[in-house]
Structure 1
Amino acid sequence: MTPTLRTAVAAITLATLATLAQIAAAQTLPALSDAPYPGVIQLSVDATDLDRKIFRVRERIPASPGPLALYYPRWLPGTHSPGAALAQLGGLQISAGGKPVAWLRDTVDSAAFHVEVPAGATALDIEFQFLTPVEAGTERVVVTPDMLGVQWNAVVLYPAGHAAAQIAVQPSLTLPTGWQAGTALDVASKDGASTRGTTFAFKPTDLDTLVDSPVFAGRHLQRLDLDPGAAAAGRAPVFLNVVADRASQGIISPEQLAAHRALVTQADKVFASRHFTHYEFLLALSDQFGRIGLEHHQSSENGVKAAYFTDWSKGSFGRDLLPHEYTHSWNGKFRRPADLWTPHFNTPMRDSLLWVYEGQTQYWGAVLAARSGLVSAADARDELAETAALLDARAGRAWRNLQDTTNEPLLWATRGRRDWTSWQRSADYYDESRLIWLEADMLIRERSNGRRSLDDFARAFFGAEPKRVQPLTYTFDDVVRELNRVQPHDWAGFLRQRLDTNDRPAPMGGIAAAGWKLAWSDTPSEHYKARMAGYKVADFSYSLGFDIGEAAKVRNVNWGSPAFDAGMAPGATLLAVNGRAYTEELLKEAVTAAKTGGPLELLLKSGDLYRSVRIDWRGGLRYPSLQRIDGTPDRLATLFAPLR
């Protein structure tokens, strides 16, 4: 390096240090303004690097001289938690007028970056990479040789101090040549002239809508109309965008297409309106692309196994995913808990009403899956039995109430894996709340002599203001008020008792009121077997009190179960049963033989320690099912029947 160049570099370094010191001294985040952010952010994402799975981002943000804070979206709708992939952002460079601009990360909020916009500048040019996972692990794989998913929150920085809905963005996405894209965004143009691929330029939108409108793209993508008569009838259209590892996996039979179309029809009958301009199911069929189910107002991200359609006859496990995410367009996106609505993606959310947002969505997802024919009534009953059995085994209900589990998304960010789920509890606001909403539905049906049901609540509550797309918030009192309009009752007391108390048994009142009860069999149902096969699990939860995952690893041990009392813990490897090498069938035989006094001794390996445990259990194999209560009406049959 020449002396002149060395002097120039030193001068630049000193200037940068001085700027950083100035930024650090004035490191504050601006208060929220009601005014729109001036200008339009230009955002370009290049997603053509399939080998290294890297998204390359360029932004131009209009800016005036002086301090500016930039946010990387942290609190993400649908995750209810601070889920930003900050560690995957790399190579951040900021410039103005072709000259570097120093940046400094906020020392308190790691998702905020401070810059000093230089005099004379009118915009900041930003470059960085989003380093997507190269293999399956703690983060979900979003790029494969044949498909990818872009969540805009991962590839954008935005100016602090303004509501997301008040920030205008002009986005574009470059995909490999020949690939197609599915998204709720409107395409303005496609340009295939570049040697890198095809650039999809989307119409300008606001940041709130952009982040709520992800893209699924792929080599094999087809878009199917799920409501062919929508345009003629003046309804918002609904489409199914299917992207697959291989074109043959995306072939849909008339029966399968009819079931997905019936989902749209049955949802209309429940919710009575469509609060979107169009809706796009994004469905990835892949064994490489990460599994996902994430709601958005006018679309949803759904990642399922590659054989979703080709193994259709082998069972309905997993086919309630699309009904669940579609329901969220009404419950969660249009009608939104007031404490979950935030002006931008770096304002903390509060999750107190997740038992409505997710719990009632879980309920309607299961009901719509059955009413549409995606899931048979028999499978719907079996799935309900499995849910009830799982929750009835939650020993943690003795100390942690359901309301407290709505804090779970905030704990996920720091807790990592939970070893004792049955005692610690997890996101039980999904399934336990589903049982509560079933009980509410059955109570309305009983007290109204079958004239009303929870469907009436849904039509009024989620179908409110039929032409409105903008979110409409609600509170606990709003929910209670509408329930009382449908059927007078002490709904506040009903809900608070189930949310706030530490009752050990699961809330089974709805199942009983529907004419059924939880029962046990030594043979699993076909639905149960398909579910365990999907999870790759050998399940002995309701007999010995544990389940076994891949490589014979003990996954979960139920608190207070026979296995727990014998000293078992998650993480051990099951090597042998009564002195013979472990297989699932061998353990089943041993459990059955123990009913008449046979031995039940397991050899476990934890680290380099080998030990034998003897389990005291004489109850045989136990798998959940529902059994009819004689002399009662079968309200589940009515609930799962399609509405006419």
Structure 2
Amino acid sequence: MRLVGFLGLVLALTTSAVAMPNNLSKPTYTAPEDTIPAPRDKPYPGTMRLLVDARDNRQGVFQVTQTIPVDPAIYPVVPANPAKPAKFTLLYPEWLPGNHAPRGEIEKLADLEFYAGDQKLDWVRDNVDVYALHIAVPEGTSQITAQFQFVSATTSSQGRIVMAPSMLNLRWHQVSLYPAGYYVRQIPVEATAIYPEDWQAATSLRPKSKEGNTTVYKTTDYDTLVDSPVFAGQHFQTHKLTSRAHLNIVADDAKFLKPKKAHLAAHRKLVKEAEALFGSHPYDRYDFLLALTEEMGGIGLEHHRSSENGVNREYFTDWKAGPGRRNLLPHEITHAWNGKYRRPKGMWTPDFRQPMRDNLLWVYEGQTQFWGYVLGARSGLYSKQDTLDAIAAIAAGMDQRVGRTWRPLVDTTHDPILSARRPKPWSSWQSSEDYYNEGLLIWLEADQIIRRESNGKNSLEDFAQSFFGGKNGDWGVATYERKDVIEALNNIQPYDWDRFIEERVYRTSAEAPKNGLTFGGYKLVYVDKPSAYILANDKRRKQLNLSYSIGVVMGGKGRIKSVVWDSPAFKAGLKSGLTISAVNGKAYSDEALKLAIEENRSGEGKIEIFAKNGEAYHNFMVDHSGGLRYPALEKITGEGVDQEGGIDRLLRPKTK
């Protein structure tokens, strides 16, 4: 009998036996009262004023003073019961755009006090929504003052480090509160920041005044404020890329601030290629905020008129070592169109309390991933070969995600909420935000189908211009749903796009969608030498990627970083966290492991791995005779094959 049938039989036989005795206490459920006003789309009466002292670059403590007008429409100055003061509800941002999840770090608020003039006010946290604070407002109060600290992470185990000795990342959502009951775009705010002495700052906000190390920014709405972070630092440069775009760089040390003319030219071309691709610019000004750092936490986060980008310190000084993180900026600027201006309907919310629905991230992030690599190649930030090597690694990597046999791609769009990027024991089986790279492969296939069906007249670029393009300077939001995507695709090239998306996104499958490679003139092959892309990626991640051969990624000092599900290493019993001591009887080193794999090419023996698990040691016999294997793309040749395929045309620059 199958297990499912057996369990059903057991359940049927025991249902009556598990009924609760009548003499046990049985509570009834009462839903908690919703004490927080729903957001309304009307102007908030008055302007908040926010002062952030960001000078503590030693211990990373932000000191905040915020004055907030009290709305008499929701919180009457004269309460119905004078003996019981009205409750004024303030919210801390919880659901953060670009994070696709509730990531507000309210646990880092400290020393929280509220005042009406000199009178200290009582406050209580909502017992259902812990991001809501109720303040007792006495009669006659027109505004309150909040004073508190944001005690930022000092080690990576506490969260992302945003304050380092020579730079900081001021993220307004971390250091502010806002009144409940209003769309955040309707709440005016004037922000002031005090930076360390002689530091320079960059943000898409425009300054109203500046005196010494204090900057007062022009009044804006709270939605725009949260969407306009700051990078500031002791070692700072800004470079004008175009009339609208600037590259603002902070570094751990001045010696890393050495971009060459060719480097800046590539970033300049990136902006031009992006605007040419989409046929518009949904911003009045765009600021790349770029940190060259090992001291501040890494980041890649999109905003309407800027992006937060954290890369290795040698981004410019070690340019020839490989593409490294140079696909980050192309990805983030693409989001100005895809994700910020055009946004899935379920991912737009009127405030930072309402949950987001992430099921269209295969468009939001998947197509951004696709265009990010295309723009990297077109701008010269990536060479064409680096781009082909990256696509090969992505295709091969997605083939290893055997979790697709039980988990459809759309379900991984919930991973930002489900797992919050915490490490998984078997990520290739569990899957993890696969909508990025599998999304890239899906949109590559869509591009090649459009080219084929239209005899080369149209491509996904036509979709990008019609769907993501808009009015120049419009950094508002235009929402869409799945049906809008399908309709837009059909307007470019009639095809059964509904079925295509249903099969690729909403159903399980046995292998990664690689048709776009062959339709585009290439095939995925495996070679015995890693590409420059893989070597650079391993160097950045401080790892050795042998996942394409025995199925392990080594994390240094013999530690297994991950094991591919159902790979030779998996079948031998290996798992992440083990430490390898010896390979084939010899002391472990990365080179020794690679040599053992290669020496067993076409052999009949097994690779003997001696590893430590806790205090115990075990032998693991890995059955792999394929030698070292690394993915690559090979051009399809033969009679009647176009020498320049669809992928070649896709990566060709549009601007001079």
1:348-359 correspondence to structure 2 within 5 Å? 348-359=355-366
Question: How far off is 1:85 after superposition?
Answer: 0.8
Q: What secondary structure does 1:502 align onto?
A: coil
Aligned to 1:76, which of 69, 80, 96?
Answer: 96
Aligned to 1:412, which of 419, 433, 436?
Answer: 419
The answer to whether residue 516 in structure 2 is matched with residue 510 in structure 1 is yes
| Cα deviation code 1:198-237 (max 9, x no counterpart) | 111000010000000000000121111111xx3xxxxxx1
Partners of 2:93 and 2:234 lie apart in 1 by 29
| Cα deviation code 1:268-307 (max 9, x no counterpart) | 1111111111010000011111111000000000000000
Question: How far off is 1:468 after superposition?
Answer: 2.9
- The residue number in structure 2 matching 1:576 is 582
The answer to whether residue 515 in structure 2 is matched with residue 495 in structure 1 is no
| Cα deviation code 1:173-222 (max 9, x no counterpart) | 10011111100001011111xxxxx1110000100000000000001211
The answer to whether residue 130 in structure 2 is matched with residue 123 in structure 1 is no
Partners of 2:397 and 2:34 lie apart in 1 by 49
| Percent identity of paired positions between Structure 1 and Structure 2 | 47
Task: Write the letter of the residue equivalent to 2:324.
Answer: F
Question: How far off is 1:466 after superposition?
Answer: 3.8
Question: Contact 1:27–1:114 at 8 Å: present in 2 too?
Answer: no
Question: Contact 2:415–2:433 at 8 Å: present in 1 too?
Answer: yes
1:396-435 correspondence to structure 2 within 5 Å? 396-413=403-420, 416-435=422-441
- The residue number in structure 2 matching 1:170 is 190
- The residue number in structure 1 matching 2:120 is 100
Task: Write the letter of the residue equivalent to 2:523.
Answer: K
| Cα deviation code 1:512-554 (max 9, x no counterpart) | 1011111001111122111111111111111111111033221
1:484-633 correspondence to structure 2 within 5 Å? 484-595=490-601, 596-631=603-638, 632-633=641-642
Task: Write the letter of the residue equivalent to 1:381.
Answer: L
Task: Write the letter of the residue equivalent to 1:203.
Answer: K
The answer to whether residue 95 in structure 2 is matched with residue 59 in structure 1 is no
Aligned to 2:233, which of 201, 218, 230?
Answer: 218
Partners of 1:62 and 1:616 lie apart in 2 by 70
Runs (4+) of structure 1 exceeding 6 A deviation are: none
| Cα deviation code 1:69-100 (max 9, x no counterpart) | 11000000000100011221111111112111
Aligned to 2:448, which of 442, 448, 452?
Answer: 442
Question: Contact 1:275–1:334 at 8 Å: present in 2 too?
Answer: yes
Question: How far off is 1:385 after superposition?
Answer: 0.2
Question: How far off is 1:138 after superposition?
Answer: 4.7
Question: How far off is 1:116 after superposition?
Answer: 1.5
Partners of 2:593 and 2:605 lie apart in 1 by 12
Question: How far off is 1:261 after superposition?
Answer: 0.6
Question: How far off is 1:27 after superposition?
Answer: 7.1
- The residue number in structure 1 matching 2:180 is 160
Question: How far off is 1:133 after superposition?
Answer: 1.1
- The residue number in structure 1 matching 2:253 is 246
1:119-518 correspondence to structure 2 within 5 Å? 119-192=139-212, 198-227=213-242, 230=243, 237-413=244-420, 416-466=422-472, 468-518=474-524
Partners of 1:465 and 1:136 lie apart in 2 by 41
Q: How many residues end up aligned between the 2 structures? A: 606
Question: Contact 1:174–1:199 at 8 Å: present in 2 too?
Answer: yes
Q: What secondary structure does 1:264 align onto?
A: helix
The answer to whether residue 129 in structure 2 is matched with residue 114 in structure 1 is no
Q: What secondary structure does 1:49 align onto?
A: coil
Question: Contact 1:27–1:106 at 8 Å: present in 2 too?
Answer: no
Partners of 2:182 and 2:286 lie apart in 1 by 28
Q: What secondary structure does 1:612 align onto?
A: strand
Partners of 2:589 and 2:373 lie apart in 1 by 34
Partners of 1:226 and 1:594 lie apart in 2 by 52
Q: Please list every run of 5 or more consecutive structure 1 residues that lacks an aligned counterpart in the other structure.
A: 1-24, 193-197, 231-236
Question: Contact 2:605–2:623 at 8 Å: present in 1 too?
Answer: no
Task: Write the letter of the residue equivalent to 1:638.
Answer: R
Partners of 1:100 and 1:407 lie apart in 2 by 42
Question: How far off is 1:598 after superposition?
Answer: 4.8
Question: Contact 1:148–1:218 at 8 Å: present in 2 too?
Answer: yes
Question: How far off is 1:129 after superposition?
Answer: 0.8
Q: Please list every run of 5 or more consecutive structure 2 residues that lacks an aligned counterpart in the other structure.
A: 1-31, 78-85
- The residue number in structure 1 matching 2:27 is none
Partners of 1:392 and 1:599 lie apart in 2 by 24
Q: What secondary structure does 2:115 align onto?
A: strand
Question: Contact 2:426–2:562 at 8 Å: present in 1 too?
Answer: yes
- The residue number in structure 2 matching 1:11 is none
- The residue number in structure 2 matching 1:10 is none
Question: How far off is 1:564 after superposition?
Answer: 1.0
Question: How far off is 1:141 after superposition?
Answer: 1.3
Gap change, CA 1:501 and 1:27, over 3 Å in 2: closer
Task: Write the letter of the residue equivalent to 2:316.
Answer: F
| Cα deviation code 1:429-459 (max 9, x no counterpart) | 0000100000000111111111111111111
Partners of 1:38 and 1:599 lie apart in 2 by 74
TM-score, normalising length from structure 1? 0.92
Question: Contact 1:74–1:345 at 8 Å: present in 2 too?
Answer: yes
Question: Contact 1:382–1:525 at 8 Å: present in 2 too?
Answer: yes
Task: Write the letter of the residue equivalent to 1:347.
Answer: Q
Question: Contact 2:377–2:384 at 8 Å: present in 1 too?
Answer: yes
Partners of 1:155 and 1:551 lie apart in 2 by 40
Question: How far off is 1:608 after superposition?
Answer: 1.5
TM-score, normalising length from structure 2? 0.91
Partners of 1:31 and 1:526 lie apart in 2 by 53
Gap change, CA 1:206 and 1:47, over 3 Å in 2: same
Q: What secondary structure does 1:483 align onto?
A: helix
The two structures, once aligned, show a CA RMSD in angstroms of 1.3
Partners of 1:391 and 1:26 lie apart in 2 by 46
Aligned to 2:649, which of 635, 638, 644?
Answer: 638
Partners of 1:51 and 1:550 lie apart in 2 by 31
Q: What secondary structure does 2:156 align onto?
A: coil
Task: Write the letter of the residue equivalent to 1:30.
Answer: P
- The residue number in structure 1 matching 2:11 is none
Question: Contact 1:578–1:599 at 8 Å: present in 2 too?
Answer: no
Task: Write the letter of the residue equivalent to 1:425.
Answer: S
